[in-house]
Structures are given as structure tokens and as C-alpha cells.
Amino acid sequence: MKIAPSLLSCDFSKFGEEIRLMDLAGADYMHLDVMDGHFVPNITFGAPVIKYVRSFTEKPFDVHLMISEPLKYIDDFCDAGADIITFHIESDSDPVKTIEKIHSRGVKAGLVVKPKTPAEAVFPYLDEVEMILVMTVEPGFGGQSFMADMLPKIREIKNEIGRRGLDVLIEADGGIGAQNIALCAEAGVDISVAGTAVFKAEDPKKTIAELQKA
Ligand code: DX5
Ligand code: ZN
């Protein structure tokens, strides 16, 4: 299992330093949660902040856009140094146009589904993306409880990817830690996001290593 620490749980007074620490702790990706206070009831940070912290690691930046109009801001996040951009299928932007825009900048694209959105919603786009991100909490906040009833959805998407012989990664996000990461691995998750589990751990390096074993 690859691990993408969610920087949402970091100390933002030393954002760059926290990224460097996660790099040294063995993180596979840096997960950056962008919220606009409109698509979700919380506001975090945008492209200028990501640009400032880009130089603190060479690990890939996995940028999760929880914003209403992702298409409008794709250039900004590409300029800021995103390696993968995921956006919500429930957003107001056209999925095909948004995926094309991301790819035109040489960046990997992924679609995100909220808990209430069924697996089939992403099937029409599976051939076009590099990643599907399945939310295992309602997006908006860190520290929520993992929704185990999302596991069948992950399996459904994994099966469809296999049936079509595609090379699409599955990422899961929300409430993931030692107590449920094996379930995620079993269901077919390739990358797990972990905020609280990593940042509240006494020894983040040990915790990441343990989670990677799943
Ligand atoms: C929620 C975010 C997640 C979240 C993960 O909207 O997308 O990335 O911060 O944090 P934990 O692991 O604490 O649920
Ligand atoms: Zn996220």
C-alpha cells in the first residue's frame, strides 16, 4: 500500500517543514486538500500556497480539489507544481473538459466520488483517467470516522478496471489508519490517504511504515 499523508492535519505555521518531515518519514505522495468553502463547508489553501511549499520535497503532489469549479483553476494548480489533480464528479465542471485540460498540461488526472455517489458514476470516464479517489468520509474535514460501507464501492470500481484491463489507481481518503487499512488493501486500494493517523502519531515514520505493509 502506498501512503499519502494529508497535510490538512499538519501545523500550517511550518507547512514546508512538515512536508519535509513527511518525506523523510517515507511518505509516497503528499496529499493536498484544497477547499473553497462552497463545494464543502470549509476553506483551506489554494495554488499560491502549494507553489511555496513545492520545493520542500521531490515526492509527487497529489492535489485533491474540493471546489465547485475545478476547470477554472487547473492552470493555477499545474503552475504550482501538481503531479496529480483529482476533482469531484459532483462539481460543476464538465468531467471530460476538465480531464483534457489537466492532461494538456502533462499532469495526471483523477475523479473523486463522495460517499453517496455510486461506483457507476465514474465508469464512463475510467478509460480517460489515471486515478479514482473514493471518499471514505464526507469531504470537508479531517479526523472523521472511516465509512466501511464504501468498501463494496471500491471493489466494484476495482473489478471494472480489471475487466477493461486498465491501469487506473484507486485511492481512498478519510478516516484511514492501522485499524482499517487492511480492509482497504483487500478491497483493492492502491494509495491510502492518512491525515490524523500519521500526524497525531508519536512516531510518523513508524506509522507510515506499518501502514505501507498492508
Ligand atoms: C477530507 C480530506 C481528507 C482528510 C483526511 O475532506 O479530503 O484528505 O483530511 O484526514 P483523516 O485521515 O484525518 O480523515
Ligand atoms: Zn483529501
Nearest-CA residue for atom 9 of ligand 1: 142
Interval 37-72: pLDDT, tens: 999 999 999 999 999 999 999 999 999 999 999 999
From the list 85, 96, 88, 91, the residue with the least C-alpha distance to 63 is 85
Spot the catalytic one: 33, 75, 79, 149. 33
pLDDT tens for each residue of 179-200: 999 999 999 999 999 999 999 9
The pLDDT score that the predictor gives to residue 199 is 98
Is residue 149 annotated as a catalytic residue, yes or no? Answer: no
To test the pocket of ligand 1, the residue of 141, 147, 191 to mutate (highest count of ligand atoms within 8 Å of its CB) is: 141
CA 59-132-115 angle, to 5 degrees, is 120
How big is the CA angle at 140 (ends 190 and 15), to the nearest 5 degrees? Answer: 75
Segments of the chain with pLDDT less than 70: none
Residue 88 C-alpha to ligand 1 middle, in angstroms?
15
Question: CB–CB of 151/187 below 8 Å?
Answer: yes
Residue 112: its pLDDT value, please? 99
Q: What is the pLDDT of residue 143?
A: 97
In sequence order, the 6+-apart residues with CB closer than 8 A to the CB of 168 are 126, 129, 130, 131, 132, 161
Which residues, in sequence order, are CB contacts of 116 under 8 Å at separation 6+? none
> In terms of C-beta density within 10 A (0-12 exposed, 13-18 middle, 19 or more buried), how is residue 39 classed?
buried
The model's pTM: 0.98
